[in-house]
Structure formats: structure tokens, C-alpha cells
Structure 1
Amino acid sequence: MLLAIIPKVNMKVGGGYLHFRKKPLSLFFIVFVCASIVVWNWEKTPHLTTLLPPHDQALHLFPVKREHAEDEAEQGLGLVPPSPSTITSTNSNYFQDEYPKASHHENTTPLLEKSLSEGKERADTVKQQLITPVTSQRTESTVTDTPITTVETQACNFGKGKWIPADNRPLYSGFDCKQWLSGMWACRLTQRTDFGYEKLKWQPKECKMDDFNRVEFLKRMQDKTLAFVGDSLGRQQFQSLMCMVTGGKDMPDVEDVGKEYGLVKAHGSSRPDGWAFRFTITNTTILYYWSASLCDIEPVDPTSETTNYAMHLDRPPAFLKHFLDRIDVLVLNTGHHWNRGKLNANRWVMYVGGKPNTNRRIADIGGAKNFTIHSVVRWVNSELPMHPGLKVFLRSISPRHFFNGEWNTGGTCDSTTPGSLEVVQDKSSDPIAAGAVKGTDVKLLDVTGLSLVREEGHISRYSIRAAPGMQDCLHWCLPGVPDTWNELLFAQI
């Protein structure tokens, strides 16, 4: 380009003009001098190249607005930002909990998305889709401190929003998920005839929440373990997630690994303390451990069959101490077992500091519950530095909807339509849970407000046997509201 311009330029020398066309030696000399100057300056300023755009990128005179830069970063890490009347009742219903059978099934067909159910010949392809992309992404998505801090400090309230109709709900069939779902919670198997509660989807007001995708869930949870530790509402969330991840279908390649976590039926017991299942295709384990009070409980006199049980309010469940190092995502919950009837029926005696409690403030049921929740949150928070890959959530309380009485005095929940479909408040409707996690790295899985407006989603008077009796306005129909709890959890893993 320089040679194309210079011949057209005349230079006055010694009163005359030199034409470059007629003076090739002079031209060569000038080009040589210019080139030497450029090379000398380039060597003196080696970082000049950093001021220039890459060869394949256009030079922009103004900054380009990166609207989705943070979304891209979150997708690369597999992370997203974490995030109306106060629920303080200490009463609870006494429904007998029916546990699912943790046995292997027969004559089942594999399913993990439509692409996973089209025949065994596609198994290798599906496995490659699930595992290969994740291998390069397992750069400690939950271990890297800086990205997590950056993402989670952004304001995002998943508990504020509204329920909207959705044609892509429910996420599984209540008729089909028999391997994972207790029959008494599958309202499609009862006499209930209205199922509008299955067709609502939660839409946060200030946050983007993608639809649950079971393949993506297994990718995010490859080589990881998710544990639910809590009461029967925690078990509902566990069963809901098992149905969501399997699409409500039997899966022969899901392994029962309860023995690895001591979840076996003890001598004289009618059921184990929980269940653990492993999706072998991604080595993902989902487990549930029953701990209604979230504290350690042990017999006062192990040799006596009629012994009382020490309810150590300042100790976490022994299960957590034994297996915390094997858990990657932990979801805790408690609430409805904190009443005098439950404690007396179970022969639970409050202990603090290894001896019977004498603190009057803690002796009150509400005070004891508050003390225990704060205690277990503080303990698990103190363990986080030793478990840098662990993410812990305290799920807020699931609301009850007994009208015109309690569970044992004729209380009902016969409504077939929800209340207000919108939650506008910023604060959680469970101040105890919100207060317990404040100032810690334990996150609040806030489901209270959005569940509070869904009074039509409970089991109500329906049952498999159609026998009249007390209404269940505590537990939820599945598919139903607990599926949304898992969608919120999925969005924050």
C-alpha cells in the first residue's frame, strides 16, 4: 500500500523536485529508513498488540453491551443466582406415613427423555450425551469460591412471583410413577376428579427460572449426591424428584444403594429410616433420610424397650455427621412434628448439653424448634469450610390448610381452586427459617409463600380406599406443589 502511494508524491530537494518514479535508489533508501523506524519502535513497545482487536474481530468504536454475559457464565458453571401470613402453628396432623417400597422392579423399560426410550441400541449415544459434556465442566462448579460468591450476591427472590397456567405441566403422570411414589399421595389413583392443580407453573417475578429438564439435572449432578433430610414433607419432595428425574417411569438402571448409607430396615422395624437410589448412567445419587426434628435422637436406656429417647436439641442428626462428606447438595426441613402430642407419643425428652433441658425458654415447643433449627444451621455452616463442594439449603416450612377445625376436630380443605395466585411480599413467610440462615452460607429454599396460596393442592378427603375419615390438609397431591419446590432447587444448584 505504501508503494502505491509514494510514487504520486513529489519531494523538493535542493531547489528542485525528485520524482520517485525516476529515482528508484532514492525510493529504496526512504522505504528502508521507514521500515527500520517501525521495527525499532515495535521492539521498544512489545505490548502494542494488546491494543488491537483479534484478527477475526471487528474493531468497535463503542463498547458492546453484553446483556447475556452473566447468563453465559452461569451456564458454564452450572450455577444460577440463589435467591403471606406467618406460619407459626405448632399443631400437626397425625396421619400415618406410608413409605414406598425400596425394592427392585421387574419387566421395566429404561427411560430418561424420549431419546433414552427408543431402544438399547442408542444407549451408548445417550450416555455420551450425558457424560462427555459434563466431564469438561466438572471444574468444581460448586467448589470454586469466587464464581459462587459473584453469582449468589445478586438479588434474586424465587419466592416472589405468581402461578400461571402451563400446558407442559405436570412433569410426570400420577398414574405411572408407581416405583417411586406412595399410592396415598398419587391423587390420580383416588376418587378425585378435578386436576387443575396439576396445570400451574410458578413464575418468579425477578428471576429467570428455566423449566426442569431431567437430562440437564443429571448432567449437573454427575458424580454427585443430593440428600433430603427431614420429615414426611421432605419425603414428598424426595419422591417428587424421583418422579421428575425418571419422567414417572420405571428405570432398570437405577440402583438401590440404601445399604451404603445404613438405610436398611432394622430388626423389629416396619420400614427403613430412608432410601437411596443411584442413576448409574451419571453416577448420581438421590437419597432421603427421615429426621422429623433435625436433631440427634438416641435411647436413654438402650437395654429397655420402653425407654425414653433423648432429643438432643443442640446436636445434628447422627446421619449427617457420618455421611456429610459424601453429600454434595443437602436439603434440610422440619416443622410439623414440633408439638406436644408428637413428642409424648414418641417418648422424646428434650436434652441440651448432654442432659435434660432446664431452660424454660427452650422448654416451650416454639422455643425448642427455633433453638434446634438455628443449632443445626450453625453446625452445618461450620462444616462448610471442610466441605468446599457442599451446597446446603434449609427449606422453609410447608403450610397447612385446615379450615373450620383442626386435623382431629373436623378441619377440611375441600377447595378446588387456589387462593390468590400471586405472592408480592419480599420477605419470607417463614421468619424462623429465614432468620436461621441469615449471616451463614446456608441458603433458604423459600417455598412457604408460594405454597400458601395453593390450598386446593392437598390430599384432602381423597384416598385409595374411598373410606370416610379425617382430611389430610398437610400433605400434597403428587404431581403437584412439591414439584415446584424441586424446580426452585434445580434453579439454584
Structure 2
Amino acid sequence: MAARAQQAKKTVTCNLILLSLFFSTSLYIILARGRNAYHLRHPLLQPIQQFCNFSDGSWLYDKGAKPRYDHTCKEIFKGWNCIFNGKPNVEEIFKWKWQPRECDLPRFDPAQFLERFRHTKIGFVGDSLNRNMFVSLVCTLKKASNEVKKWRPAGADRGHTFLLYNLTIAYHRTNLLVRYGSWSASDKDGILESLGYKHGFRVDIDVPDLSWIEAPSYHDILIMNTGHWWWAPAKFDPIHSPMIFFDKGLPVIPPLSPSLGLDMVLKNMIMFVENKMALNAIKYFRTQSPRHFEGGDWNEGGSCQRNRPLSQGQVEQLFSLERNRTNVEARLVNQHLYKAIEGTSFRILDISRMSEFRADAHPSSSGGKKHEDCMHWCLPGLTDFWNDLLVVNLITN
């Protein structure tokens, strides 16, 4: 009898173990299916390799790729609307996909972006290349929701609120980030006059431009850039109309070169933003967007007539610091930028590498200007991938 009871006890124990395993396995399958279904419904939330270098990759041809929006998006500046303007290779521009070497850069879903960033304010601060990126984001989101209020929040040049989501996206135009204006010598013998200065541009390295001075305290996410205007000979001619830097209302003596002036401006404006933005705010500095002038600069007959991305060798010919040619500006500015954000809460949004290959994606002669536009980008086009990079950074960080 004792042996029989012992055997029965073992049988019950085994059955309980098997039953427990069955329920555990079933629960795991149910949860796994639920989790997978959730990720399928929410592509923005799918696992992304957090430690991938999304900037290191190459462009792959994707014959079936379609533009994310079309030429009817009213926010597209006329000169960038390459579909409407009939740029010869416009249909090919969209058919290239950026492929990082060790992971994928997913195309962000506008509907899920709107849902995820409800009650959020996103500001783009910088020159017209940041407007290029801003317009790309707005046009993409409008494909998912067109109930939009246009206004100018916090002194912005332009802005949009997606009403169903209370998501605001604004662009604050500023060429140098700081205040600047014309300067002329006075009748009094000042220190600048004694150094031979007669005309120029006063650049206050410690005073933010009014167009964005309210942006840090207004926005939750900030994407900043500067660089293109710092060596613009048509504006800041080093001989006839040089930059003259002021600090706390007084001229900086000895006078600074544009390179040193840029360093001072970056330092001061980064400090200004960090002091004004909330502790949980997200701050990016976008790296420099490369130009692709060949045969001279924009005012020297330079052009960009390529119809496909450059090879690695062609990229180095155009952008190598050692060659110091027309388009070297991007890598030079980036050196200043990386140095400036060290030890700060700013993050880098590195769009330079992927963009250096895309000599084919500028408006070129279809931009409607007297000279070819080899600086801005066709829309839809390359800057759509900049926003993919922005979104993946927002999610993984």
C-alpha cells in the first residue's frame, strides 16, 4: 500500500509539472504574439540597433522606391520643387536608399510619428538648409494628417501645428545664430578705425538672433545648424565687408578671423540653449550639409550635373581637406562643431557622410536661379533621409 501511495504521489507531481510547463509555454506564446502584433501596428517601436553607426554606409538602388510626398505639398520652396520644375533625373533621385553597413535605417511612419510625439514642440533653428529639412518633415507628416494650423510660434519664420495631435513643428531662420548688421566707421577715432576698418558687418558673438531667442524655452526638441554663411564671399567679403566681432558690446581686439569667431559663437549659443531649455529637452546640432559645385564656386560658373550618387573616390576628390577645393567647407565646419559640443548635453545629427555622395540630388539648373543651385536639395529627396536619421536617433536615445 505504501509503495502504491508513493507511486500515486509521483504521478500527481509529474502531472503538475507538465501542466505548469504547458501554461508557461502558452503564456509565453500569447505574450510573444501580442508583442509582435504590437510592433507590427507600431513600426516606430520595433527594436532598433542602438549602437549602430547609421552614418556609415552606402546608397543602394531601389527600383521600386516611391517618393514620400509629391510636388503638390505647398510648403516646398519653388526652387526646390524638382518634380514641378522638370529636373531631368528627378525620378531617379528617390530610387536610392541609404544602407548603413551594420544595420538598417528604417523609413519612419508619419502616422506613428504623430502619435508618438503628441503634445510636443519641435524647432529647427538655422539657415535655409534647416528649412530644407523642416519642409521635408512637414510634407511627410501631412500625408498622415492634413488638419494643420499655420502660424509663427516663438518668433519662428514659419510653423505648423498638427491639431489632432497637438504637435508643433517650427522653423526659425538665422544665418549666423547671433545678431549681426552693417557697421561703418564713425567720425570719432575708435579702435577699429585706428586699425583701418571702414566698413563691415558687426557680429555680436554673445547675443542670439531675435528670430530664435525664444525657441529654447518654447520647444521640447531643438535641431540647430550654422556654417554656410560664415564664408560667404558675396556677403562677408574679407577685404571690403569683413566680419567684425563684438563681445558685450565692445569690439574684440585683436580682431578675430571667421574661424575663431565661429568657435566663440558656437560656445556662447550652446551655453545659451543649455541654460534656457528644460533638463529633459532634446538638443541636436546637425552637421554641415555638403555642396557639390564642380568647375568653380556658385558665382564662378560651378555646376552639379551628375545623375547618380558619387563613388567613394569622387567624394574624396570633392571634399578632402588636403585638396582644399571649393566644397571643403562642410568638413571644416564640422571640425568646429564637434569641438564645440564636447562636454555638453547636445547630440550630433551626422548627415554629412550620407549627403556627400548625393551630387545628383540638388536642384542644379532647374532651380530657377541665374546660377546652378548645388547647395540646397530637391524635395522630395535627400533630406527625407535626414529625418529618418533624426527619428531613429530620437527613438534609440
TM-score by length of 1: 0.60
CA distance in 2, matches of 1:182, 1:342: 22
Consecutive unaligned residues of structure 2, counting only runs of 5 or more, are 7-19, 27-34, 185-198, 317-329
Question: 1:375: Cα distance to partner?
Answer: 2.8
Which residue in 2 is equivalent to 1:484?
385
Query: Equivalents in 2 of 1:156, 1:256: separation in Å?
Result: 37
Give the 3-state SS of the residue equivalent to 1:155 in structure 2: coil
Q: Which deviates further from its counterpart, 335-344 or 363-372?
A: 335-344
The superposition leaves residues 177-217 of structure 1 with CA deviations (integer Å, 9 ceiling, x where unpaired) of: 1x211111101122422121121121222344321211011
1:448 aligns with 2:352: yes
Give the paired residue count.
335
Question: In the alignment, is the contact (CA less than 8 A) between 1:169 and 1:201 conserved in 2?
Answer: no
| Shift, 1:297, TM fit | 4.2
Deviates more, 1:443-452 or 1:160-169: 160-169
CA contact (8 A) 2:87 2:363 kept: no
SS in 2 for 1:381: helix
Q: Does 2:34 match 1:8?
A: no
The separation in 2 between residues aligned to 1:463 and 1:213, in whole angstroms, is: 29
* Long gaps (5+) in structure 1: 11-52, 60-67, 82-150, 264-273, 302-306
Is 1:364 aligned to residue 248 of structure 2? no
Asked if residue 170 in structure 1 is aligned to residue 72 in structure 2, the reply is: no
1:358 Cα offset (Å): 1.6
**Structure 2 residue identity aligned to 1:395:** R
Contact 1:255 1:280 in 2 (8 A): yes
- Rounded to whole Å, the distance in 2 between the matches of 1:236 and 1:292 is 14
| Corresponding residue of 1:278 | 161
Looking at structure 2, the residues matched to 163 and 206 of structure 1 have their Cα atoms a distance apart, in angstroms, of 14
Q: Distance in 1 between matches of 2:258 and 2:269?
A: 17
Q: Distance in 1 between matches of 2:271 and 2:243?
A: 23
Distance 1:77 1:190, change over 3 A: closer
Is 1:257–2:151 an aligned residue pair? yes
Q: 2:271 aligns to what?
A: 378
The answer (yes or no) to whether the contact 2:365–2:371 under 8 Å persists in 1 is yes
Q: Structure 1 pair 463/210, CA: closer, same or farther in 2 (3 Å)?
A: closer
Residue in structure 2 matched with residue 268 of structure 1 by the alignment: none
The residue number in structure 1 matching 2:216 is 324
The whole-number CA distance in structure 1 between the counterparts of 2:46 and 2:169 is: 19
User: Deviations along 1:260-303, whole A, 9 cap, x unmatched?
Assistant: 4234xxxxxxxxxx1011000100001001011112447889xx
Q: Paired residue for 1:419, among 304, 310, 321?
A: 310
The residue type equivalent to 1:199 in the other structure is K
Q: Give me the whole-angstrom Cα distance separating, in 2, the residues matched to 1:334 and 1:279.
A: 27
* AA at the equivalent of 1:169: K
Alignment of 1:426-445 (within 5 A): 429=331, 430-445=334-349
Report if aligned partners of 1:374, 1:436 keep a CA contact under 8 Å in 2.
yes
Q: Is contact 1:191-1:463 (8 Å) kept?
A: no
Aligned residue for 1:293?
A: 176
Distance in 2 separating the partners of 1:436 and 1:80: 32
| Cα distance between partner residues in 1 of 2:99 and 2:82 | 24
TM normalised by structure 2 equals: 0.74
Q: What residue is the counterpart of 1:314 in the other structure?
A: 206
1:365 CA displacement: 1.3
Q: 1:239 and 1:201 mapped to 2: Cα distance?
A: 20
- What aligned pairs does 1:87-126 form with structure 2 within 5 A after superposition? none
2:124 corresponds to which of 228, 240, 265: 228
User: Against the structure 1 CA distance between its residues 192 and 202, is the aligned structure 2 distance closer, same or farther, given a 3 Å change threshold?
Assistant: same
Change (3 A) 1:408 1:213: same
d(CA) in 1 for partners of 2:290, 2:351: 9
Aligned-partner residue type, residue 254 of structure 1: V
Deviations 1:236-278 (A, max 9, x none): 111111111113x993x200121x4234xxxxxxxxxx10110
State the SS of the aligned residue for 1:459.
coil
| 1:394-450 C-alpha deviation (Å, 9 max, x unpaired) | 0000011111111111111111121027999xxx95322222223322110101111
Q: Quick one: distance in 2 between partners of 1:240 and 1:246? A: 10
Q: 1:407 aligns with which of 298, 302, 305?
A: 298
Cross-structure match for 1:462: 366
Give the drift of 1:382: 4.3
**Residue 160 to residue 419, structure 1, CA distance change in 2 (3 Å):** same
